[in-house]
Amino acid sequence: MLTRADNELISQTGADTPMGQMLRRFWVPFAETSELPGPDCDPIEARLLGENLVAFKDSQGRIGLLEDHCPHRGTPLYYGRNEESGLRCIYHGWKFDVEGRCMEMPSEPARSNFKDKVSAKSYPVREMGATLWAYMGPRDKMPDLPHLEWAGLDPRQVQFTRYNQECNWVQALEGDIDSSHVGFLHRGALGQESAASTEDVEHLLYDTSPRWVVGKTEYGVMLAAERMTKYADKHYWRINQWIEPWVTMIPPNLQQTRAHGHMWVPRDDESTDVWCVIWAPEENLSQGERLLVTNGPLPHIATIDPETKRLRAKKENHFLQNRKLQREGLYSGIVGTREQDTAVVEGMGVLADRAREHLGTSDIPIIAMRRRLLGDAKALRDHQTEPLAARSAKFGVRSWTALLDAEIPFDENPEVPIQTKARA
């Protein structure tokens, strides 16, 4: 459990909060590049860390990300005209470039130099891995973009899906580093998508109380779950990765042919953009695999609305839970892996009261992640250390799954890739 003070600290994302200040030291994904298809295209809205923003691509193909309120009278710039290398407010014609400088102020006399004294708040934007990233922290502390494996692959090897959850971002991501829930919440759906093979499912269900090896790393926390198997000399290991602050990686199947992860990006303290990323490290994803993400009898995401980026299965309709399916083998009775996870974390409320929790050994990874996140935010607040964002070159790790010798300790086993072992 957390104290109420720490529960507030870990959850708050505003610019005047310790956690919000730390999060702003990292590059934040906010849109796919395809959402701004060409120069002078329609602008798009974004909400990040409690701030309403507007993104646009100017006549030269440069991307701007501005506060979505004209500094004149507060009119949303989203309604603006994207023309001639700037975004023009429709209220009085004030026009801003990608860096927020006021280019024209036609409502003022021609002799006026007022436009040189006014600017719109802006943030740097970079493109990486078919994704647009924003940096919202101090310019002199801006790190390199994070080194993520999927971001360097051909787009034919990667599949994105994005949706919104109505709860705090930390409780949303906690489910991704909690390996023990997989054998319960997702039972009956496992093996229906490329993330798990029949053999993986067998091992997951054989032992539902894994033992943990958890360690701080140069990028966040490594979380290794050990399960006994029907083989006396082999144990089944699933290694999750948490790359601070919002990247998680789910263990792949034993064949290591596919990788899977998420990015949990706070829109504000009470809602989260969830990026689902599936990639094939050595080959292109097939069209059938891409369709499996949102189609089929038991897809990864079953009810996403492409217009609203929300799930049609939601609290108001009890996530379309089907009690007949629940009795017949789908453990939750809820179709869709993401719908299952969303149901349990949104059901806690928009902000879980962690002071009321009763944590057990299965929650060791949750405790480790919270300690790291809180410790790093407090250290920055107290001017002790810089965030891990400065180590972005260390972020290129991968989750892992294997059958390992039951007698050899995890960190001593030569079969374990070095990037999955804990290190300070």
Question: For 75-96, how does the pLDDT look when each residue is reduced to its tens digit (9 = 90+)?
Answer: 999 999 999 999 999 999 999 9
Residue 372, pLDDT score: 94
Does the pLDDT value for residue 194 go beyond 50? no
Token pair in block for residue 160: 């994105």
Q: Rounded distance, CA 373 to CA 356, Å?
A: 20
Q: For residue 228, what are the β-bridge partners?
A: 235
Does the pLDDT value for residue 420 go beyond 60? no
Whether the model clears a pTM of 0.85, i.e. scores above it, the answer is yes
Confidence of residue 418 (pLDDT cuts 50, 70, 90): low
Does the pLDDT value for residue 422 go beyond 60? no
Confidence of residue 183 (pLDDT cuts 50, 70, 90): confident
The CA-to-CA distance between both ends of the chain, in Å, stands at 25
Element (H, E) at 6: helix 4-11
Does the pLDDT value for residue 233 go beyond 90? yes
Residue 281, CA atoms < 13 Å, CB-side half-sphere: 15
For 235-291, what is each residue's pLDDT tens digit? 999 999 999 999 999 988 888 888 889 999 999 999 999 999 999 989 999 998 898
Of 13-17, 187-191, 341-345, the poorest mean pLDDT is in 187-191
Does the pLDDT value for residue 215 go beyond 90? no
For 317-329, what is each residue's pLDDT tens digit? 999 999 999 999 8
Query: Which residues 6+ apart lie within 8 Å of 376 measured at CB?
Result: 22, 244, 385, 387, 388
Confidence of residue 195 (pLDDT cuts 50, 70, 90): low
Q: What mean pLDDT do residues 14-39 have?
A: 97
Q: Is 27-141 assigned to CATH 1.10.10.10?
A: no
Which CATH class for the 149-420 domain? alpha beta
Residue 389, pLDDT score: 82
Does the pLDDT value for residue 137 go beyond 70? yes
Q: Where in the chain is the domain with CATH 2.102.10.10?
A: 27-141
Closest CA to 265 of 146, 353, 420, 97: 146
Dihedral sign of CA atoms 250, 254, 256, 258 in order? negative
Residue 313, pLDDT score: 97
Does the pLDDT value for residue 419 go beyond 90? no
Cβ atoms of 410 and 224 within 8 Å: the answer is yes
Does the pLDDT value for residue 410 go beyond 70? yes
CA angle 199, 200, 206 (to 5 degrees): 90
Q: Where in the chain is the domain with CATH 3.90.380?
A: 149-420
Does the pLDDT value for residue 152 go beyond 50? yes
For 329-351, what is each residue's pLDDT tens digit? 899 999 999 999 999 999 999 99
CB atoms within 10 A of CB 414: 7
Dihedral sign of CA atoms 207, 212, 218, 219 in order? positive
Does the pLDDT value for residue 198 go beyond 60? yes
Rounded to the nearest integer, the mean pLDDT of the chain is 92
